[in-house]
């Protein structure tokens, strides 16, 4: 089992064993770096994540990995340094010069402009691996996820990256409808041989939204043979779908098992930070620079679909331009029809138990005297939220937090206030804590 697969399996095992918030915050922001005989190195997105994993989840991590590997391992966690992907010279003989079929590969979608975050980093890593070694390790690469999360973008990004390395590579990209129409057309015009030559000579075949093969028996039959031939020639296939193979109805079992036989990777809806980063990249692409606050405001207005988020951003930019208004937080907020600040109508007990659940600590620890970072941060968040969102006095907050002095509360509250302004990680945690409050 290679590292990527191992980590993928690991996340699947861990997911049901931990709260959704914990999973998102700590596990999905961590990747497996290397596996040695008795040591495994993980890299986390931040020092805070590293410390939390170490303090609270290490036994679970070690146990799970030991079970998957069938041997005892020690786990070391490091903090990720941002690394530039190294580009190698294109000296591969994988691609015979072939009749070029590089049509409809929209060059706009690249791996470079694909923003990577915890929701899509495993998929991105798989994509990079396929670019490095097409046809060998992950064949097919099956990418699935909801609408607008970036499946098509990632798939085209792989195609474009391969094309950059090997400009003569024969790459076919098509929607599943196109494949179906080609098939039907070939039958009607007695051109099956042409169809087969075309698809089966591809070194890279990208088929988008394969869930639409559902119920199309003839197409499935034809594709099954195409698939086998391409696989036997080590030609890379990349497929996307809005759901995993086992949830596509009216799909032949033999196709289902082939789809699942390579690497299946899902893309999740983007978390808050990734949404901000995507908005930032897109707005720069469109020649409009927006403040961090404006970007955050827009990012918090849409949860799951990046397509929708992009649409909103474009609309905002256009409308404000048309009205000759600056893209200030106020103008954007009034466009989004909401005030920047909403106060919560919750009791302090509800807030405190939500915070405990989010950070995976007990209420005794939250209001107790211990001063480890893993406890201090949640405590400060509590102070901030009780003060800013519930409007409690610092004295009262001190009381409910185990009899702390009001100056301590003020200090903690202001610290978080400051952190939220300048630290995107804190901003994200804050948004997620708030989300968990409004949804509970």
62: Cβ contacts below 8 Å, ≥ 6 apart: 73, 74, 75
**Site membership for Mg ion, residue 301 (CB under 5 A):** no
Rounded Cα–Cα distance for residues 73 and 158 (Å): 34
Q: Are 110 and 159 in contact (CB under 8 A)?
A: no
Name the one range near Mg ion by CB under 5 A: 151-159, 172-180, 213-221, 381-389. 151-159
Rounded Cα–Cα distance for residues 60 and 258 (Å): 33
Rounded Cα–Cα distance for residues 97 and 104 (Å): 19
**Beta carbons within 10 angstroms of residue 373's beta carbon:** 12
Name the one range near Mg ion by CB under 5 A: 26-34, 150-158, 281-289, 393-401. 150-158
306 binds, among Mg ion, ligand ADP, none (CB under 5 to 8 A by kind): ligand ADP
Least Å distance between CB 241 and ligand ADP? 10
131 binds, among ligand ADP, Mg ion, none (CB under 5 to 8 A by kind): none
Phi, psi of 366, rounded to the nearest 5 degrees: -60, -45
**Site membership for Mg ion, residue 176 (CB under 5 A):** no
347 binds, among ligand ADP, Mg ion, none (CB under 5 to 8 A by kind): none
Rounded Cα–Cα distance for residues 18 and 27 (Å): 9
Rounded Cα–Cα distance for residues 19 and 34 (Å): 26
Rounded Cα–Cα distance for residues 149 and 310 (Å): 11
Least Å distance between CB 208 and Mg ion? 6
434 binds, among ligand ADP, Mg ion, none (CB under 5 to 8 A by kind): none
Nearer to ligand ADP, 20 or 284 (CB): 284
Least Å distance between CB 211 and ligand ADP? 12
Nearer to ligand ADP, 317 or 352 (CB): 317
Least Å distance between CB 242 and ligand ADP? 8
Least Å distance between CB 122 and ligand ADP? 13
Sheet with 39-44: list strands edge to edge.
Answer: 30-35, 39-44, 74-79
Least Å distance between CB 206 and ligand ADP? 12
Nearer to Mg ion, 152 or 235 (CB): 152
Phi, psi of 43, rounded to the nearest 5 degrees: -120, 135
170: Cβ contacts below 8 Å, ≥ 6 apart: 95, 98, 99, 100, 101, 102, 201, 202, 203, 204
Least Å distance between CB 153 and Mg ion? 8
245 binds, among ligand ADP, Mg ion, none (CB under 5 to 8 A by kind): none
**Site membership for Mg ion, residue 120 (CB under 5 A):** no
Nearest C-alpha neighbor of 62 from the set 44, 30, 46, 38: 38
Taking CB under 5 A as the criterion, the residue among 25, 43, 152, 241 binding Mg ion is: 152
50: which 2 tokens? 């590293």
Contacting positions for Mg ion (CB under 5 A): 151-152
């Amino acid at each position: 089992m290679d590292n990527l697969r191992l980590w993928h399996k690991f996340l699947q095992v861990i997911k049901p064993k931990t709260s959704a918030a914990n999973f998102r915050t700590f596990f999905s922001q961590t990747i497996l770096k290397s596996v040695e005989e008795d040591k495994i190195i993980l890299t986390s997105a931040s020092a805070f994540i590293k410390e939390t994993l170490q303090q609270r989840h290490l036994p679970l991590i070690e146990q799970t990995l030991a079970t998957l590997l069938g041997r005892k391992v020690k786990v070391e966690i490091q903090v990720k340094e941002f690394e530039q992907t190294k580009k190698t010279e294109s000296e591969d003989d994988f691609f015979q010069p072939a009749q070029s079929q590089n049509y409809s590969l929209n060059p706009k979608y690249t791996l470079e402009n694909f923003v990577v975050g915890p929701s899509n980093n495993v998929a991105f890593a798989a994509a990079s691996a396929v670019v490095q070694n097409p046809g060998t390790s992950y064949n097919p690469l099956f990418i699935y996820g909801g609408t607008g999360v970036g499946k098509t973008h990632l798939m085209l990004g792989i195609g474009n990256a391969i094309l950059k390395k090997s400009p003569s590579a024969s790459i076919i990209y098509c929607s599943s409808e196109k494949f179906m129409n080609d098939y039907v057309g070939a039958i009607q015009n007695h051109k099956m041989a042409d169809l087969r030559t075309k698809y089966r000579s591809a070194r890279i075949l990208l088929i988008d939204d394969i869930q639409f093969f559902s119920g199309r028996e003839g197409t499935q039959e034809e594709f099954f043979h195409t698939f086998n031939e391409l696989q036997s020639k080590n030609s890379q296939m990349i497929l996307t779908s809005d759901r995993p193979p086992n949830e596509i109805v009216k799909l032949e079992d033999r196709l289902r098992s082939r789809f699942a036989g390579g690497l299946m990777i899902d893309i999740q809806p983007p978390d808050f930070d990734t949404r901000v980063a995507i908005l930032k990249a897109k707005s720069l692409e469109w020649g409009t620079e927006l403040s961090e606050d404006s970007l955050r405001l827009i990012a918090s207005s849409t949860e799951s679909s990046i397509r929708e988020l992009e649409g909103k951003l474009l609309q905002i930019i256009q409308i404000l331009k048309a009205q000759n208004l600056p893209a200030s937080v106020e103008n954007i907020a009034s466009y989004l029809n909401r005030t920047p600040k909403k106060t919560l109508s919750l009791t302090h007990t509800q807030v405190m138990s939500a915070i405990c659940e989010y950070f995976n600590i007990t209420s005794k620890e939250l209001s107790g005297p211990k001063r480890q970072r893993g406890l201090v941060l949640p405590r400060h968040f509590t102070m901030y939220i009780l003060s800013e969102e519930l409007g409690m006095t610092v004295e009262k907050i001190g009381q409910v937090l185990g009899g702390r002095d009001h100056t301590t509360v003020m200090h903690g509250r202001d610290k978080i206030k400051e952190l939220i302004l300048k630290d995107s990680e804190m901003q994200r945690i804050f948004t997620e804590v708030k989300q968990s409050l409004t949804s509970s």
